[in-house]
Amino acid sequence: MEGAVQIQVNGLPRGCRSGSTVGDLLRELDIKTDSVAVELNLEILDRKDFELRSLKEGDRVEILSFIGGG
Amino acid sequence: MYDDRLVIAGREFKSRLWVGTGKYKDFAETRKAIEVSGADVVTVAVRRVNITDRSKENLLDYIDPKKYTILPNTAGCYTVDDAVRYARLARAAGVSDLVKLEVLGDEKTLFPDTAGLIEAAGILIKEGFIVLPYTNDDPIVAKKLVDIGCPAVMPLAAPIGSGLGIRNPYNLKIIMETVKVPIIVDAGVGTASDAALAMEYGADAVLMNTAIAGAKDPIAMAEAMKYAVHAGRLAYKAGRIPRKLYATASSPIEGML
C-alpha cells in the first residue's frame, strides 16, 4: 500500500501507515497503555511520548507488560 | 500483627509472606491463592505482549495494583545489561521504582551471578530504583549489596522451584547478624515448615511462588503458608527455649507420694 512503512513489532514484521505514531500502533493492536512499556529501537519511551513518536521504515518496536512470575 | 509491620525503604507492608504469580492454572486461581495467602506484595515478570492473540487476558486485570504492591522481577536475565534493561522496562510499564533484581548465573541451578548482581544493583540504585536483590546465601555478598544501597536483601533458601527448603541455615543466620536491613528469604521453600523455620531463624519475610502454585491444592497451600509465616514470626518474637540433651520435668516432684 502507498505511504506504508515496514516495521517490526515484538519480533514480527508489520506494515503501518507512514506517519503513524506509537500511540496509533497500540490502538491498532488494541493494547491499553496503562501497564505497558514500549521500546523503540532499544530506547524506552515515556508514556507521554507515545503520541509524539512516529514510526519509520525499519523501526523495531517492543511492547512489554507484566505476566505471572516469581 | 499490626504492631509488627515490615518496613522497607519507608514503605510499610502488612504481610511477611510475599508471593509470586507464575505457574498457576489460570488468573482466577492466581487471584484466589494470593487473596488466601494474605500477601500484599506480589512479584511479576516482564515479557512481550502477545500481539497475535489479543483475546488473552492481562494479569493486572486480576491483581489490582491499588491493592497490592507489584514487584516486577528481572527473571530470565543472565547479564547485567539485560537485567538493567528489564528493570527499566518494568519501571516504564509500572507504577513504582521497586524491582526484584535477578542476574542469573546458570540455567541449571538458576543461582545468582553475584558479581553481576552487585554491578546491576549499583547502576539501578544510581537511577533511583529501590533494588531488592535475589542473592545467594552469602553473607559477604549480602553486605556488599547493602553497602551500595539495597534496602533489603533476598537470599535464597535453595534453588528456585526446588522445594528443598533451607539448605544453609547457618549462612542465613550470619546474614541476619551481618546486615541491618530486612532479610527476605526468597526461593527454595517447599512446604509450610520451611517457611516457618525461615521466620523462626529471624527472617523478616519469605517470598515464594512454586511452593504454592505447584502444590496439589494451591489455595490450601496458600493458607498453610500464611499461618506458617505468621507462626514462625510469632515464635521468633516469643523466643524459643534452648536445646538441651537431657530431659527437664515439666511436672514438679514436690507433693508426690
Query: Residue A50, CB half-sphere, CA atoms under 13 Å: how many?
Result: 19
B175, B155 contact by CB (below 8 A): yes
CB neighbours (10 Å) of residue B57?
10
**Does position A1 have pLDDT exceeding 90, yes or no?**
no
- pLDDT category at B3 given cuts 50, 70, 90 is low
pLDDT digits (tens, 9 = 90+) for B178-229: 999 999 999 999 999 999 999 999 999 999 999 999 999 999 999 999 999 9
Can you tell me the mean pLDDT for B74-98?
95
Residue from the list A12, A62, A67 with its beta carbon closest to the beta carbon of B44? A67
Please judge whether B90 and A37 are an interchain contact, meaning their C-beta atoms are less than 8 angstroms apart.
Answer: yes
* Nearest-CB residue to A10 (from B27, B30, B49): B49
Please tell me the predicted confidence (pLDDT) of residue B4: 85
Which triple of cell numbers denotes residue B159? 534453588
Please check the confidence at residue B128 and state whether its pLDDT lies above 50.
yes
Please give the pLDDT value at position A3.
82
Measured between alpha carbons, how far is B116 from B106 in angstroms, rounded to an integer? 12
Distance CA B43, CA A67 (A): 9
Average pLDDT over residues A21-27: 96
Mean pLDDT of chain B: 95
This model of the complex carries an ipTM of: 0.94
Cβ separation A31–B59 shorter than 8 A: no
Task: Give the start-end residues of each E strand in chain B.
Answer: 6-8, 11-13, 17-20, 41-48, 69-72, 98-101, 130-135, 154-155, 184-186, 205-208
Specify the pTM: 0.93
CB contact under 8 A, A69 and B43: yes
Per CB-CB distance under 8 Å, the chain A contacts of B45 are: 66-70
CB of A56 within 8 Å of a chain B CB? The answer is no
Contact criterion met (CB < 8 Å) for B210 and A70: yes
Query: In angstroms, rounded to a whole number, what is the distance separating the alpha carbons of residues B209 and B18?
Result: 9
Hey, is the C-beta of B231 within 8 angstroms of any chain A C-beta?
no
* DSSP-derived secondary structure for B213-246: HTSSSHHHHHHHHHHHHHHHHHHHHH-PPPP-SS
Instruction: For residue B100, indicate whether it is catalytic.
Output: yes
Summarize the confidence of residues A15-38 as an average pLDDT.
93
Q: Is the pLDDT of residue B55 over 90?
A: no
CB contact under 8 A, B30 and A44: no
Q: Is the pLDDT of residue B1 over 50?
A: no
Interface check for B46 against chain A (CB to CB < 8 A): the answer is: yes
- Chain A partners of B208 at a C-beta cutoff of 8 Å? 70
CB B82 within 8 A of CB B55: no
